[in-house]
């Protein structure tokens, strides 16, 4: 009797447990999902974003006087460096050898790639290399 009752109760349960085809549909429109989800996904991502974008850069906040002063300084430094370059290397340009400008140690030598210029800042240890192709 108990077996019959158990079988009667289990038959509807087995009919519900039939296999179904699983279909995956992505939500993100970038991966084939519905395009109407775009605004919802964007607003959801923006609400979770903890970073804030800076509205203005430091360059825009400078006055005309500050920009003029910086431009003038750049031109003066450029003129000084041209004068130093001419005094050190002459009108012929770069020559092989080693040179010192304050804390900068410059070594110039030819190689298979072209003229190599090694620059070493002796105060900080920073190095740079410039290769001028033949």
The tens place of each residue's pLDDT in the chain, 134 residues long, gives: 777 776 676 666 555 566 778 888 888 888 888 888 888 888 888 999 888 877 655 556 788 888 889 999 899 888 888 887 787 767 777 778 888 878 889 898 999 888 888 999 999 989 999 888 87
62 lies in some domain: no
Measured in whole angstroms, the distance separating CA 67 from the mean position of its chain's CA atoms is 27
Range of the domain at 104: 92-133
Token output for 52 = 């804030």
Predicted local distance difference test score (pLDDT) of residue 127: 92
CA angle 100, 72, 63 (to 5 degrees): 130
Spatial distance between the Cα atoms of 117 and 107, rounded to a whole number of angstroms: 6
85 lies in some domain: no
Number of domains in the chain: 1
Predicted local distance difference test score (pLDDT) of residue 100: 85
Predicted local distance difference test score (pLDDT) of residue 118: 92
121 lies in some domain: yes
Q: Give the H or E element holding residue 127.
A: strand 127-133
72 lies in some domain: no
110 lies in some domain: yes
**How far, CA to CA in Å, does 127 sit from each of 105, 113, 119, 121?**
10, 19, 6, 6
Predicted local distance difference test score (pLDDT) of residue 11: 67
């Amino acid at each position: 009797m108990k077996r019959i009752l158990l079988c009667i109760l289990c038959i509807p349960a087995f009919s519900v447990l039939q296999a179904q085809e699983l279909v995956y549909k992505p939500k993100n429109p970038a991966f084939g999902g519905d395009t109407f989800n775009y605004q919802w996904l964007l607003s959801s991502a923006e609400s979770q974003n903890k970073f804030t974008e800076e509205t203005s850069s430091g360059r825009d906040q400078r006055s005309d006087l500050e920009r003029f002063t910086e431009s003038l300084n750049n031109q003066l430094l450029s003129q000084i460096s041209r004068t130093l370059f001419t005094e050190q290397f002459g009108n012929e340009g770069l020559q092989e050898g080693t040179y010192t400008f304050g804390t900068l140690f410059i070594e110039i030598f030819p190689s298979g790639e072209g003229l190599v210029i090694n620059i070493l800042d002796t105060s900080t240890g920073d190095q740079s290399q410039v290769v001028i192709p033949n």
